Structure 1
Amino acid sequence: MLDPGAKSARPATVWIAQDGSHHLVRASIDLGSGSIQLTQSKWNEPVNVD
């Protein structure tokens, strides 16, 4: 999902907005040794990624 070079599939759970927009609201990815939690909001607003 987040790593195109991954050697195997990882369990993930995603939450989609219920307002009909189909926006991804949250994602949780199990990496085995930890996890990634991603929460999104304020769609169509600029963001900075450091």
Structure 2
Amino acid sequence: MMEISVSEKSGWVSDLIFRELKRFEEDAKVSADCVNVVRVDNRITSVGLDIRRSEV
């Protein structure tokens, strides 16, 4: 199994979070006005979202 560094894992997880958030926005017709990803020692500890309904 390939060894993955902590910073590479954090980058991969961040990409996954934002990809899924984009899918959620499109499906639910909402938008994330603010996304706050908190990292401690290159590890994601929390993700905060401020979600607003899109104008249709």
Judge same fold: TM > 0.5, yes or no: no
TM-score by length of 1: 0.33
Larger radius of gyration: 2
Considering fraction of residues, name the structure with more helix.
2
Considering fraction of residues, name the structure with more strand.
2
Higher relative contact order (CA 8 A, sep 6+): 2
